[in-house]
Every structure is written in structure tokens, then in C-alpha cells.
Amino acid sequence: MSANGSPPRAIPRDSFASRLIEAVAGLADRPMAWIQHAVGGRGMAYVFLAPNILFFGLFVFLPIGINMAMSLTGGTNLFLSERPFVGGDHYRALMQCGSYLDPASCREDHFWKGVSNTLKFTLFQMVAMVGTALVTALVLNRKIRGRGFFRAVYFFPVLLSPVVVALIWKWILQRDGLLNGAITLAGGEKILFFVEPGWAMFWAVFVSVWAHMGFYTLILLAGLQAIPADLYEAAEMDGTKPMRVLTRITLPLLWPNLVVVLVLVLIKAVQTFDEVFVLTGGGPGTATLMVVQYIYETAFANQVQNFGLAAAASMLLGSLLFALTMLQLWIARRKAA
Amino acid sequence: MAGLVLKGIGKSFGPVEVLRGIDLDVADGEFVVFVGPSGCGKSTLLRVIAGLEEVTSGSIRIDGQDVTTERAAERGLAMVFQSYALYPHMSVYRNIAFALENMRLPREEIDARVRRAATMLRLTEYLDRKPGALSGGQRQRVAIGRAVVRDPKIFLFDEPLSNLDAELRVATRKELAGLHAEIGGTMIYVTHDQVEAMTLANRIVVLNKGRIEQVGTPLDLYNRPANLFVAGFIGSPRMNFIRGQVGPEGRLVTPDGKVNLPLPPGSAATGEVTIGIRPEHVAPCSPAEADARIAVELVEQLGSESYLYGTLADGTALTLRSPLEDPARRGEEMPVRFDPARLHLFDAAGLAIRP
């Protein structure tokens, strides 16, 4: 049915358009019949899947395979055939540490500093992201004036490129930026946000939350709106206090959405690179250096391009992300069941 | 338990006036049913009483105390929702105990009350289950249990049987009647099903377009409807109506003069009137006894009885109930007689004219 309720108009028989469609479709008849004859009815499903699998294989599975091979070979040459096999040397190099709690004691101290920073970033970001997204969703779920406007406002940063987000905030936070301008106007002293390690990590987390919160708010808002209104009315009749409604009704019923958000935030945080890289460049020093930035620099930005070591680090990171993705799928399936 | 007094209740949603000037007294321990067509305001009235909606005008008194501005929780009422509104993540036990936990009652008392309600509603073996693992009827009983356990001043039921199949609806209806007899609480029940209303109520409140049309016992409404709306709404199939003028012989004559019917005995009505007669009070008869003849258009055979749908000579539709299995065929002309004692008369404004 069309939008106005009337049935869609069929292409008139014997019109030029219908004859053209028939002629084009007819071209495929013979080859399709031949393929069907060759592979059988059941095999046709795989024939139709083949283009996608080919595309996926070429741009996803093949690079993973090449990366794995890279991680087991050494040298600076980009061509695998020219690279000597070194086995697990890169993995051993990455894992060689006096103490895993002290990155400075590790052979690849920047890798472990990246791991440590990524863990810190992930932890802070998860708490801040889920907390703010939840509060925002709870507020936006109420019947407030301009609800649609606020939803759009909170979602808007999601549409921006991470580089644009980082540049906007760099402009605000730099030494002579908007924020320091406001601080000096109010009689305060300029703060060097990108020079003090604590501030740099704080703003890395803040900017990330600002940029992505809208997306997670939307997921939580969808979950909140799926909770039937009469449960809240029943709770009201039962004399339930607002905080108890939140903890005993809203949060338990929102739990599946919350778990999905938690896992998604976790995966995104572990993958963080572009925003933080453009905002702080990993500095000051290595204060905001993330694992992905370490991989990028080891492979492409350092004077000696160590593809093998970078590939080994990305295999380790990939394994962690794979485990997290499986966790998310498992949770999503449990929710669907 | 407590009585309820509504005075001049009005409720508007923006420009839409949903309730207008509702006045009602519900006695302590009474079972009152609000009935009416969809959109008549019956559920809104219940929600206003519950405190889930604020009134636009008027006052609500429960047990003599003005609760108009009090929140739902402070009114001491319990409500059974159409959807049951059970907390899906809690067990049956937790669902029933939830309100008592809010009241911070001692754990032993909560347990005793929950188990007592569960026994009464045959839910003991399901206490550990989640609502999703229960049948519709069992969920309904949990919803009732959740209300019973609180020992509320008034029970409110919002179309609680509408999600059940026909058989379960009859069974649950009986259980509700039994529950009222057992605990004797004041109950207010909303339904659009007149059989539920007739079988459960001490008194029925018929609502239409946000106003009360009539309040009375089920038989009052059936035998002495106050107006055309109530007469048409109560009873199934609905009452037959024949419009006309009172002629010089004191009989009703339809505008085209083709039908001439007797008025109720003792009636002194004049001018434009409507006669009402229920299908069960019209009977096939011999041509000599006939008040009118109908052309049979449809026969519904229900086994124990049959309904005949036809038209009078002026085209007015007429339904009659026959105890016979096969009383007539489509297209037949049938002489019929109206029970004079069961005739209802309404004036031009649709109000009942009593002899």
C-alpha cells in the first residue's frame, strides 16, 4: 500500500518499462539456469552469498591473515615474502616485563603505558558515559517541554567526525582557547590543559563522553520507553518512593539495554584512537597514549617501521575485542531469548 | 473498608472534556460497576478515583475525608489493571509483597499476608514463578492478590477480565463475586461487558459521553431504564425501538401510518414518543392476536433458543427471541405480539415516561 492508502500502481503490461524489465531479467535466465543445474537448488543460497563473502574475505579476513603473518615475521619490508619468520619473538617482546604493573620495567614500555592508559581511559569513560547517558535518558523520558529538541541536541555530536570533535575541543581547551579566555575573564589563571597529565586524561574522557553520549542515551531511552507505563502506575498505587521505583523497577527492567551499552562503550573505549590522538597527540609525554596509537606509531610513524611488533600488538588487542564482541553477542542473544 | 463520595467531578484533557459533573455515592462494602461504551469516560473516572489523574473540578471523599488533592499512594486504594501490570522481573511472591515492603511492615507479617492471599487465590504453588511463566488467569489472580494483600479502603478494577478467553472470563467472574462475598470490601469495577456488570454489581453506573446516565441495581436498569441510551445499552440483543406519534385512539402510529401499536397500560402520553420492547418480550403468535407483522430477514439458531431479525411494515428493525429451535425461515411474514406489561415508553427527548 502506498502512503495515502491506495494500492501501489503496477507497471502497465506491455508498456515499454515492463518490456525493458522483462528483457533485462531475461538476460539472466540462461546463466542462472545453468548455475542452478551445476550447483543444485541448495547450492544456490551460497551462490547468492558468494559476492558478499568474497568482499568480506578480501577486506576483513585476508587483512587479519596478513596481520597474523606479519606478527610472526620480522624486518622492515612490507612484503611478506621478503620478511624472515621470527615465530613468537614479537609477542615475547611485548610481554617481556619486570612487573606488569610498572610499564617502565617492560621492554616495550610504550605498549604497556598504552595498555595502562587505555584501561584508565576505559574505566573512567565507562562510568562517566553510562552515568551521564542514563541520567540524560531518564530526564528525556519524562514529559518535559522541548523533549524532542533536547533529544536532537544530545544526539547531534554523534553525527560529527571524531576529528572535527577533537578539533572543536582543542580550540576550546588550548592555551589561548575559549575556556582559558573565560577563566581569565573571571579573574582566574590560565590552565595548561594539555600540559598537565591529569587534565589531559580528564579532557580526553570528557570529549569522548560529549561526542558519543547521545548514541547511548538513545539506546537507553528506547529501553525506558519499552517499560509499560502501567507498571509505574502500579508502583504509584503501591506507594513506592521515586528512588525505589528507580532501583527496583526501572533499572532491573532496563538492565538488558544497560548491559548492551556497557559492552559497546567498553569496546569503543578499548579501540579509542582518533579523538584522543587529534586532541592530545598522546601527550603530555605518554600521559594519554592509547594502545591503538602505539600500534599506529610503531608501524607507520616511527623512524624504524616495525610492522611485526605493531601486528603482534594489534593481534593481542584484536583478541581482546573479539572476546568482548562475543560477550556482547551472548548477552544480546540472551536478551532476545 | 470505606465509602466513596464524588461531587461534581469534571476532567478535561486540554480542550476535550472527558468527565462532566459526576455525582456519585458508593456505600461501604458495595460492589459498583461502571459500564458504558468505549470513550464514555469510565476508565478515566476510575483513574481519577485512584489518584492517577487529577480532577479538573469537583471533589472526592473517601471515608468522609477529602482526598481530591492527595496522591494515589496516600488514598489507601488498590487497583487491578487491565494489563495486570505485574512486575515481570519479580516472582509472584515479590509482586504480592512489594507494596507491603514499601509500607515497611515486619518481614513475618509480610510473609503471613502474602501466604494468606496466595492460599485464598490458589497461588501457593506459583509463588516462586515469574509472571511470564503463568497463564492469563493465574496472572489475573496475582494482580488481585497484590490488591487484596494491602487490605485497601477500596478495590478498583479496570476491565480486569478483558484479556481472558470466554471460558476463563466466566470462571474468574465467579471468583470475583466469591471474593467480594468473602472479604466484603468496597469494590469499583469498570467494564464494557454488560454481562459482567449485571452479574457482579450491587449497583451499576451507566456512563455516556462523560456523564452518568443512570445509577441503579442491575434489575432496575433492565426493567426501568431512565432513557433511551440505558434502555439500548443494557440487554443483549438490544431493546427494539419504534418511533411514532400517539394517535387519537391512544395507540402509537408510525410516521407512514403502516404500523399501529398499543402503548403501555395506563399511559397518558401524547405527541411524539418511542416505544421500547426487549427481544425476549416479543413473541410469535396467531394472526388474530398479533400487534404487528414482521418480515423475517435472518434467523440465528443458538440451540436453546433462536433470535429472529426482521422489519416491521414501515421498515423499522425488530428483533425477537423464540424458545423454538427453528421458528421461521428467511423471507417469511410472521405475526408477533408485544407483552404489554413489558413495554417501555420514551418521550421526544428520549427520557422514560412512567405510567
| pTM listed for this prediction | 0.79
Query: Would you list the domain boundaries of chain B?
Result: 4-231, 238-346
Distances in Å between the alpha carbon of B3 and those of B6, B25, B154, B155, B186?
10, 8, 8, 11, 7
Give the gap in angstroms from C-alpha B51 to the nearest C-alpha of chain A: 8
Residue among A233, A240, A241 whose CB faces B52 most closely: A233
Inter-chain touch B89–A230, beta carbons under 8 Å: no
Q: Which helix (H) or strand (E) holds A39?
A: helix A16-56
Shortest CA gap B146–chain A (Å) = 9
For residue A5, what pLDDT band results from cuts at 50, 70 and 90? very low
Nearest CA in chain A to B155: A237
Nearest Cβ partner of A237 from B50, B89, B103?
A: B50
Quickly state the pLDDT bin for A146 (edges 50, 70, 90).
confident
**Taking CB atoms and an 8 Å limit, are A228 and B98 in contact across chains?**
no
Nearest residue on chain B to A255, alpha-carbon basis: B89
**Nearest CB to A228: which of B51, B79, B83?**
B83
Domain A99-336 has CATH 3.20.20.70: no
Residue B1 confidence (pLDDT): 57
Q: Chain B contacts of A231, Cβ < 8 Å?
A: 85, 87
Per-residue model confidence as pLDDT tens for chain B (355 residues): 578 999 999 999 999 999 999 999 999 999 999 999 999 999 999 999 999 999 999 999 999 899 999 999 899 899 999 999 999 999 999 999 999 999 999 999 999 999 999 998 889 999 999 999 999 889 989 999 999 998 899 999 999 888 888 888 888 888 888 888 888 889 999 998 888 999 999 999 999 999 999 999 999 999 999 999 999 999 989 999 999 999 888 888 888 888 888 888 888 788 899 999 999 999 988 999 889 999 999 999 998 899 999 999 989 999 999 888 777 888 889 999 999 899 999 999 999 998 7
**A237, A241, A249 ranked by CB distance to B87: nearest:** A249
User: If you measure CA to CA, which chain B residue comes closest to A238?
Assistant: B99
Are residues B99 and A236, on separate chains, in Cβ contact within 8 Å? no
pLDDT at position B260 is 85
The grid cell for A87 is 615465530
Of the candidates B39, B37, B35, the one whose C-alpha atom is nearest the C-alpha of residue B17 is B39
User: Where in chain A is CATH 1.10.3720.10?
Assistant: 99-336
Question: Are A237 and B98 an interchain contact pair (Cβ–Cβ within 8 Å)?
Answer: no
Nearest of B116, B185, B103, B107 to residue B152 by alpha carbon? B185
Q: What is the pLDDT of residue A75?
A: 87
Instruction: Work out the pLDDT band at A2, boundaries 50, 70, 90.
Output: very low
Q: Which of A230, A241, A244 sits opposite B81 (nearest CB)?
A: A230
Of B78, B85, B89, the CB nearest to A233: B85
User: Over the stretch A225-254, which tens digit does the pLDDT of each residue have?
Assistant: 999 999 999 999 999 999 999 999 999 999
Distance of residue A332 Cα from the nearest chain B Cα, in angstroms: 17
CATH superfamily of B4-231: P-loop containing nucleotide triphosphate hydrolases (3.40.50.300)
State the complex-level ipTM: 0.84
Asked if pLDDT for residue A337 goes beyond 60, the answer is no
Chain-chain contact of A237 with B102 (C-beta, under 8 angstroms): no
Residue B234: other Cβ atoms inside 10 A:
24
- The whole-number average pLDDT for the span A83-91 is 93
What does the mean pLDDT of chain A come to? 90
Residue in chain A nearest B52 by alpha carbon: A233
- A and B: number of Cβ contacts within 8 A: 55
Q: CATH topology for B238-346?
A: OB fold (Dihydrolipoamide Acetyltransferase, E2P) (2.40.50)
Locate the chain B residue with the closest alpha carbon to A239.
B73
Closest-CA distance, B78 to chain A, in angstroms, reads 6
Nearest chain A alpha carbon to B83: A230
Q: What is the pLDDT of residue A336?
A: 58
Cell numbers representing residue B97 in the block: 509483597
What average pLDDT score do residues A87-107 get? 90
Task: Compute the nearest-CA separation of B170 from chain A (Å).
Answer: 25
